[in-house]
Amino acid sequence: MNMLQALSATTLLAATLHVQAADNGIVSRESPHSVDETVRRLESVLQSRGITVFARIDHSGEAEKAGLRMRPTRLLIFGNPKAGTPMMVAAPSAALDLPMKLLVAEGESGSVTVSYNAADHVRQRHGLSAEVAKPLSAIEGLVAEAIR
């Protein structure tokens, strides 16, 4: 296999993997900050917008308490009842995805990612109208602000 064929095969594989990742409804964005700093920045952005952080789960901390090792991994559960309640009234199953969640995790290479459910995926999953589900799209801006 020559270099051009190898490059083409690699590009095709990368494109295929990207489509598969996009199809699962999870969006991941790389953060230039540590897990702790990314979580702090996310909480700050949420607080500045009047969004409640309902819970903070330290998966790696809990793993350590159980005698297990896990790279730094935190989950923020957050929302705004004024925005989420109409979605759950329209489709009670939306409560499976609400309040919203942000997963901040360090990968093996040391890179940090922020992952969340894509707004359109949640909307389609629960059959919500675009108008009712409009608040879901705010997550993209919140994450972008926190990781810059």
- On whether the pTM is more than 0.95, the answer is no
Nearest CA among 33, 29, 50 for reference residue 118: 29
> Domains of the chain by range and CATH?
25-147 (3.30.310.70)
Q: How many CB atoms lie within 10 A of CB 132?
A: 19
Chain segment 74-125, per-residue pLDDT in tens: 999 999 999 999 999 999 999 999 999 999 999 999 999 999 999 999 999 9
Residue 3 has pLDDT above 60, yes or no: no
Pairwise CA distance, residues 10 & 141, whole Å? 32
Nearest CA among 16, 141, 139, 7 for reference residue 79: 139
Residue 51 has pLDDT above 90, yes or no: yes
Pairwise CA distance, residues 72 & 23, whole Å? 26
Pairwise CA distance, residues 128 & 96, whole Å? 13
For the chain, where are the alpha helices, taking DSSP H only?
3-23, 35-48, 59-65, 81-90, 119-125, 130-133, 138-147
Pairwise CA distance, residues 43 & 80, whole Å? 14
